[in-house]
Amino acid sequence: MATVSKVPRLLNLVAALRSSPTPMTAEELRVRVPGYAADASDETFRRAFERDKDDLRRIGIPIDTVTAQHHEQLVAAYTIRKEAYDLPDPKLTPEELAALHLAATSVRLEGLDEEVAAFRKLGGLGGESGGGAGFGSVPVSDDVTRLFEAVLDHRRVRFDYGGSVRHIEPWRLQYARGRWYVTGYDLDREERRTFRLDRIDGAVTVGEAAVNEIPEEIEGINLGAWEYGEDPPIRGLVRLDPDIATATVTDAPNLEVVSEGDDGSMVVALEIRNRAAARGFLVSLLDRAEVLEPPELRQELIAWLERFGADRQVNEAAS
């Protein structure tokens, strides 16, 4: 029985539904979509098709079930409505479209036979091909492929991270600021965790089926500017005054609340990999935040503020 792996089959299913001018029945999709084995039994096809629809809906692709109008008998058909799937027209100017076109044709996805560009929805690509000069690229490693398939198949994965073995039920993959991240349920720590793929030691191993349900809404990674960088990582503790604590944590949900005071103040933790960006964030809070730990971060901020004040006095004197 000839089969096609799941990811290409899902892409083919989306392409078929998007390109058809009328909704398509399951039997029509069975014939048109590569990946549904022609010699498979009706029951085997039905189960595969139902799983595929569920997987696509779970990752945000709106497949609607309607009644086919081109059949004599009432039969279910499926479609992806343009207005529900495509991005709204952002009404870009010709100059903005030209800039978008340049960016889109200069970036490609490594390791994929077909480049998938969201820029197309914005109108940034002309012609049929999405390839470009290749000034930049989005890396797609074997681990990314394994994790993507594990998310779709709802299977557990195992990998080494930070000196220990992690067992995860992956929920979501995300690419942000040049890095891949996977978010899921950490079986060892019994809580939601996010991991950066380039910090995984060795290869990702896909295992047995997951047992925990995937949440209906999965928040993506929302890193602060201080978390993007290659500085030696440090963990900073900062006390927030009551009048800004809640608002600050709401605006930066990646801050970890360590403790809360009776007066409404909070102590939050920052995982810092960019010291300059951390200084900028802390200074923006003015005198309503205090760095508690580590001592070197506190002294570094004090010294930076003193230098800034001295430079300002010199400039004012010179003017």
User: What residues are paired with 185 via a beta bridge?
Assistant: 169, 192
**Token pair belonging to 216:** 């209906």
Task: Answer yes or no: is 219 within a domain.
Answer: no
Q: Are residues 229 and 314 in the same domain?
A: yes
Residue 194 has pLDDT above 60, yes or no: yes
CATH number, domain with residue 281: 3.30.70.240
Q: Are residues 130 and 151 in the same domain?
A: no
pLDDT grade for 113, boundaries at 50, 70 and 90? very low
Per-residue pLDDT at 54? 84
Q: Do the beta carbons of residue 267 and residue 239 sit within 8 Å?
A: yes
Closest listed residue to residue 76, CA positions, set 49, 48, 43, 58? 49
Task: Answer yes or no: is 64 within a domain.
Answer: yes
Domain residues for the domain of 300 are: 225-318
Closest listed residue to residue 64, CA positions, set 50, 76, 79, 84? 79
Per-residue pLDDT reduced to its tens digit, 211-263: 988 887 776 666 677 877 778 888 899 999 999 998 888 777 567 888 999 99
Q: Are residues 264 and 301 in the same domain?
A: yes
Q: Total domain count for the chain?
A: 4
Per-residue pLDDT at 126? 42
Which residues does 300 contact at the CB level (< 8 Å), separation at least 6? 275, 279
Per-residue pLDDT at 273? 83
Task: Answer yes or no: is 1 within a domain.
Answer: no
Q: Do the beta carbons of residue 111 and residue 56 sit within 8 Å?
A: no
What is the residue-wise DSSP string for 162-216?
Answer: TTEEEEEEEEEEEEETTEEEEEEEETTTTEEEEEEGGGEEEEEEEEEEP-SPPPS
As a whole number, mean pLDDT of residues 130-137 equals: 46
Per-residue pLDDT reduced to its tens digit, 40-97: 788 888 988 998 888 888 776 788 888 876 656 678 889 888 766 655 555 666 666 6
Task: Answer yes or no: is 217 within a domain.
Answer: no
Q: Do the beta carbons of residue 237 and residue 293 sit within 8 Å?
A: yes
Task: Answer yes or no: is 214 within a domain.
Answer: no
Q: Are residues 128 and 147 in the same domain?
A: no
